[in-house]
Amino acid sequence: MVASTSNHFFLFDSQPNSETVQDPLIFPLPFQSSSKSIFISKDSILFGEYTDSLYLFSISNKSGFILNSFPSSLFFNEATRIAKDHLNQLHISGLSQSNFFNTSTAKWQRDTVAFNKMIPTPNATFFATKKHGLLKRTSVSTFFKSFGTATPDSEITDLTLNGSILWLCITGKPSLFAFNISDETITEIKIPSLPNHVYPTSIITDDEGRKWLALSHNFGGAVYYDGGTISNTTDDYWLTLNTTSGKDKLGAIWIATNNGACVFYTPKTDANKERILNATMVSDLAGKVLTAVASDPSGDIWFGSTTGVWVVNSSLTLKNYYSENSTPLLSNRINQIYFDPQQGQMIFATNKGVSSLFIDTYKPSTSASFLSSFPSPFRIPSDAPVIIHGLMENANINILTASGKHVRTIEKATSGGASWDGKDDNGQWVSSGIYLIVAYESNSKTTSIGKLAVIRGN
């Protein structure tokens, strides 16, 4: 039996068929509050404190530790965004304020500013806020620095960092804004053929340096390429898309819309640079109203929606579905999904607060192993690449024929995975046959090997 006061709890050990109760063992609690809930299992006691956190006590070890919970105020309000700053502190934003977990005090701390996006750099974090424009913070103790170059009270809906340039999307502005974090200057770039009331709502940058935009008022999306220079507009081009977006660890661009999802594995333009080629539909999500997208280290893609969370694997097959009816998810309406690599958990911002889920993900191998790939056999031509698993971090991969002839080199695997499009180093589709996948990691001087069957059609 357990009884608690504001700062201690008493553990009574009564034996079966005994008419007496021994003196209790007394243990301190790490927080002071008379408002607690207590849950007892076979060897553990879980104390829930009203305003701060959870305390897990092991009966056999006679010791416990605090479980860092999310800020209680956000359990009763809508959580909209989740991110980590340059100090590795987790931030959760609501509609009008935000909270962050102060690593120096190990407590949640409140901020008065609500944000839509955070971008950490080595020495500072930039905030796209709901009402105060672009803000900058260098430490917990320093105040935000506001940049008043683009209507300081405006809402910045999204931002992304490409080199030393922050690309901003601003509510009510039919333009992109390029903010140089080195000299703190800003450049406005008009989006052509866009009505004045339409504006970009989200942005990501692909591996080629192109900016992918979702547009407001059901205007779909756009892709912008600046030729590597902001001042020289002669080599710029704009493309339209038919929508939140995200990029996975292999560089593919995933588009989430109010009518399903698609993926661009190797986004390329046609000869006239009028459209993006190679879009592949995610058939299992057709007709779904999607609101968020994120990827995990295993290559799975997580889609938030108005009806829960959908997980799709690398073969575009529905893998899991989570809803408030079948899981502890607080709400089916998902505002954002964030993967925390340190904790190995997916965190969901919903209209009723924050939920999290610890997941099993592929991690980089620490020793040589046999490589696996999917799909196998790999049928080409195909817009979707084959995914290679079991790689060591930063391994270089060589694709060889069964006789040992070199076909393709793929450099620097990340997060245990890499992809191959089925082409040789000259960009030509390979022939049908058995191919060897050989991965070499120079630091440990280890080699991993796998086999893949390729079937080439017409």
Rounded alpha-carbon distances, angstroms, from residue 354 to 262, 301, 310, 348: 27, 19, 17, 6
DSSP string, 40-75: E-SSEEEEEESSS-EEEEETTTTEEEEE----GGGG
Quote the CA–CA distance of 95 and 153 in Å, as a whole number: 16
pLDDT of residue 311: 92
Local confidence pLDDT in tens for the 458 residues of the chain = 677 766 676 776 655 555 555 667 776 665 555 445 666 766 677 665 544 455 667 777 676 655 555 555 444 467 888 888 888 888 888 877 787 777 677 677 787 788 999 999 989 999 998 888 899 998 887 777 877 655 556 889 999 998 889 999 998 888 899 999 888 888 888 888 788 888 998 888 887 788 888 888 877 778 888 888 888 877 787 776 644 555 555 567 788 877 788 777 655 554 444 455 566 778 888 888 888 998 887 778 899 999 999 999 877 889 889 988 877 788 899 999 988 876 677 889 888 888 888 775 545 445 545 677 777 778 898 877 787 876 776 778 889 988 788 999 887 655 556 788 899 999 999 998 889 888 887 666 667 788 888 988 86
Looking at domain 73-358, its CATH architecture is: 7 Propeller (2.130)
pLDDT of residue 362: 46
Fold entry, domain 372-456? Immunoglobulin-like (2.60.40)
CA atoms within 13 Å, Cβ hemisphere of 393: 6
pLDDT of residue 445: 65
pLDDT of residue 251: 60
Say which residues have a Cβ less than 8 Å from residue 34's Cβ, sequence separation at least 6: 5, 6
pLDDT of residue 39: 65
Quote the CA–CA distance of 337 and 348 in Å, as a whole number: 5
The secondary structure element, H or E, covering residue 138 is none
Quote the CA–CA distance of 131 and 156 in Å, as a whole number: 8
Number of residues that make up the chain: 458
DSSP state of 414: B
Quote the CA–CA distance of 374 and 28 in Å, as a whole number: 53
Q: Is it true that 73-358 and 372-456 share their CATH fold?
A: no
Q: Could you tell me the residue ranges of all domains in the chain?
A: 2-67, 73-358, 372-456
* Under 8 Å between Cβ of 328 and 394: no
* Under 8 Å between Cβ of 291 and 256: yes
Edge-to-edge strands, sheet with 54-58 = 36-40, 44-49, 54-58, 63-67
pLDDT of residue 334: 93
Edge-to-edge strands, sheet with 25-28 = 2-4, 8-11, 25-28
pTM of the model: 0.60
* Under 8 Å between Cβ of 301 and 244: no
The amino acid that residue 323 corresponds to is S
